[in-house]
Structure formats: structure tokens, C-alpha cells
Amino acid sequence: MSTPNNESGAPESAPAAKPSGRPSASEGVRVNKPGKRPAKRGKGAGFNPIERRALLVLASLYALRMLGLFMIFPVFALYAEELQNSTPERMGLALGIYGLTQALLQIPFGMASDRIGRKPVIVAGLLIFAGGSVVAALADSIEWVILGRALQGSGAIAAAISALVADVTRESQRTKAMALVGASIGLSFVLALVLGPILTGFVGVPGIFALTAVFAILAIPLLIFGVPQAAQQAPDTTMTPAERFKAVAGNAELRRLDVGIFCLHAMLTASFVVIPLVLRDTAGLAESGHWAIYLPVLLASLALMVPAMLYAERNQKVRSFFLGAVVLLGVSQLMLVRAQNWLPLLVFALLIFFVAFNFLEANLPSLISRIAPPECKGTAMGVYSSCQFLGSAVGGILGGIALGRYGAQGVFLLSAGLAIIWLVASWRMVPPKPRAEAAAA
């Protein structure tokens, strides 16, 4: 008989109590023998060995895949100028088409993971992603790069990975688990923006596409042998996919978070349509020197983001910090409009942008996981990931159009407008209750 609510399927670090109808150890409550003092909780609570192993592998898997993907961002706009038939609009489409196919397939992949299991879906997605990377690596025209990017995006596994993280962790540890995955993505982003310009000097952008294929293949044995079999909640066969989707779409708080991730990644992709060009043409920095801007900015942003995230969680100020981060996104974009001819202001604007971006990127999936109904978690993650990648698609496409018609300032104003839309949509958000209050209720 499994321990109630032990989603990892693994024994707890403390001996499990016999079934008695009382809360189990997996819920963070110790069942004590008469005459013994209750076990201490709180500060000493943490991941058990099974959770640590699974999270290390899943965070590494996510980071490897995203490292190869993010390395394209700081160099693609410059590389696209050399491709046959390239225009600003097609360059934006090449960046954004990945997000479009991801958006179309995240919900089906998330639903499939609810029914047939997480690992088979993730392996299939990694193989598709690797195939698209090979196509893009061999491309000599912008059209073939667009096709390769579309195939890359068809490996839509973000929802399945997020749901697997939830499967292998207890409810009491899930926020930290999601934050750890978010931090791994942030770290891969830091490394990618630094390594992208450096590696381009050695292997070119086609070589980076080839590396993404290698990373995807390496991730498969890491997943199969490194992640223990999770006690995935049995699929609710009484709910059809349409019913699960309706339950997710009808939740106002989930909708607000979905709008948020759409705007966040639309802003990110649109910004990187033009930031490499601004650093080269306006700030006068050679492509190989862009890492010298990205590295200190991103490291400083992570150093500022982590304490802010921990403070907001511990002091129940998630809503205030969340809305403040959205405001900072808009402010940073308005600063970038004025900063194109002044490098110190440009660097400061990028710092503000990435502090806010990293804070929101780490918190959004945790909020989704805590709010979504357990039987619909894969579907909720699918909708969330679809909105994330649809935002990337729209940001890349509209960013390319804005660059072609209005220049760099048009792109930054577009992003500032997205921040305003997000702020309005999120103003009435209600963060999930702290666990102690939720348990008492």
C-alpha cells in the first residue's frame, strides 16, 4: 500500500507510520509514539535523497536542452543577415517559429503524459528536437532555418518535464523544486549568452545548432537511468481531455499566470531580435565581445533575484513582488529606448530587465503547480507552456516586423506595451495560501 500523498513513490527519510487515517510523513507531519516529543519541522525540512537525485537529473536535463536553445539568442540576429533571402521579418519568424510549434503541441504532449506516462513523451520530444537541430545546422538559407526551428519546437516536452518534477516531489517541497528547475534554466541562460558569442567564433551558428542535437541525445539516457520511476498519480479516466482542459481554462488564477508567461517570453524574444544589433551597431561592440556585457549583467541579476524570491515567499509578499517585477520589465524597456547611444544606461537597463525576468521565470511555474488541480496538472502545465511558447512566437514575429518598420525603438516600445497588458491582467491576482493556512482550511 502506498503512503498517502507521497508522490515520489519513495520512502521518506523518517520511518513511515502505519496507516491510521492521520496525516503521513510525506505531508511534513511526523507521527510520534506516545511519550516522545514531536519532531522538529521547518528549518530542517528539505528534499529527501530520492527527490534530490531526481531533481538534479531533471534540472540538468532541462538546462542541457535550454543551453543549446538559448545559445542562438545572442548571435542569431547577426547570423541571419548572412543567410540567403533573409529579411528582418523572416529573421523574426525564424526565432519565433520554434515557439509557435511548441505552443501548438504542448497541450497534446501534456495530456499524453497524463495518460501514457512522462518518460515516453519526453524521450519522443527529445528525438524530434534533435532532428530539427540537424536540419537547422545544415541550412544555407533562411527558409531552411525556419523549417529546422519549426521541427525543434515540435519536441514539446516542457509540460511533461514540469509535471514529472511535481510527480517526484512532495507537496511541501514542490515550490523549492520548481524554483530549482527555474534556477537551472536561469543558469543555462547565463551560460548561453556568454558561450554563444564565444562558440560562434569557433564553430559558427551551424555548429551551435549541431550542439543542440548532441545535448538532446545526451539527455535521453540521463532521463531513463537517472530519474527514479515516479508514483505518478493514476490518470483520472472519468475525466475526458476536454473536461480537464475546461477545468484548467475555467480557473481565473491560472489564466492570469498564462497571460503572464505569454507576455514574458514575447518580451524576451522580441528584445533579442534587436539587442545584439544594438550592441554591435550603436554601442560599437564586436560580436565576440558581447559576452563581456551579458556575463556581469546576468550574474548580478541572479544575485539580486534569489534573495528577493526567498523574502517574498517567507513573508507572504508574493503578489507585491510579482507585480513589482512586471513594472520593472516595462521600465527597463522604456530605458532601452533612450539607452541606445549610452552604454552605461544600456547595461543598467539590461540588469533591471533580467532581475525581473529571472524572478518571474522562477515563480510562475511554482504558482501554476500549486494552483492546478492534481488530476489536471499535466494539462495545466501544457496550457501554461503553450502560452509561454506562443509568446515566444508572437514576440519573434512582431519584433521582426517592428524592427523592419520602426527600428530598434519600435521593438522596445512594443515590449513596454506588453508589460502594461500583463500588469493590468495580473492586478487582481490572488496568490495561493501558505501551506499552513491551506492545511488548516
DSSP 93: H
227: its cell numbers: 530519474
Under the banding of pLDDT at 50, 70 and 90, the label for residue 43 is very low
Backbone angles phi, psi at 84, to 5 degrees: -65, 140
Give the HSE-up count for residue 384: Cα atoms under 13 Å, Cβ half-sphere: 30
d(CA 342, CA 339): 5
- Residue 255 neighbours by CB under 8 Å, 6+ apart: 249
Under the banding of pLDDT at 50, 70 and 90, the label for residue 411 is very high
104: its cell numbers: 501548438
Which architecture, in CATH terms, is 49-225+240-430? Up-down Bundle (1.20)
Distinct helix (H) and strand (E) counts, the chain = 14, 0
Question: Max Cα separation, the chain?
Answer: 79
DSSP 141: B
d(CA 396, CA 95): 6
DSSP 36: S
| Cα–Cα distances in angstroms (integers) from residue 405 to residues 154, 218, 337, 437, in the given order | 30, 42, 16, 52
User: pLDDT (tens digit, 9 = 90+) per residue, 113-144?
Assistant: 878 888 899 999 999 999 999 999 999 899 99
Q: Is the dihedral of CA 16, 20, 23, 29 positive or negative?
A: negative
279: its cell numbers: 550592441
DSSP 40: P
d(CA 238, CA 375): 10
The mean pLDDT of the chain is: 80
168 near 7, Cβ under 8 Å? yes
Q: What is the mean pLDDT of residues 374-394?
A: 81
d(CA 142, CA 146): 6
pLDDT at 386 over 50: yes
Q: What is the mean pLDDT of residues 258-272?
A: 92
Residue that the C-alpha cell 537547422 belongs to: 136
178 near 366, Cβ under 8 Å? yes
Give the HSE-up count for residue 351: Cα atoms under 13 Å, Cβ half-sphere: 13
Based on the number of CB atoms within 10 Å of its own CB, is 129 exposed (0-12), middle (13-18) or buried (19 or more)? buried
d(CA 174, CA 184): 15
User: pLDDT (tens digit, 9 = 90+) per residue, 185-217?
Assistant: 777 877 888 888 888 888 888 999 998 899 889
User: pLDDT (tens digit, 9 = 90+) per residue, 106-115?
Assistant: 778 878 887 8
d(CA 79, CA 208): 12
Q: Would you mind telling me the total number of residues written for the chain in this entry? A: 441
d(CA 345, CA 360): 23
Q: pTM here?
A: 0.73
- Residue 27 neighbours by CB under 8 Å, 6+ apart: 4, 5, 170, 171, 172, 439
User: pLDDT (tens digit, 9 = 90+) per residue, 299-352?
Assistant: 898 888 888 888 887 888 888 899 999 999 999 999 998 887 788 889 999 999
User: pLDDT (tens digit, 9 = 90+) per residue, 226-239?
Assistant: 887 765 555 555 67
- Across-strand partners of 84? 141
SS3 content of the chain, % helix, strand, coil (to 5): 75, 0, 25
Percent of the chain with pLDDT over 70: 84
Q: Is 64 helix (H, G, I), strand (E, B) or coil?
A: helix
88 near 404, Cβ under 8 Å? yes
37: its cell numbers: 516529543
Q: Is the dihedral of CA 112, 114, 117, 122 positive or negative?
A: positive
Domain ranges of the chain: 49-225+240-430
d(CA 91, CA 239): 42
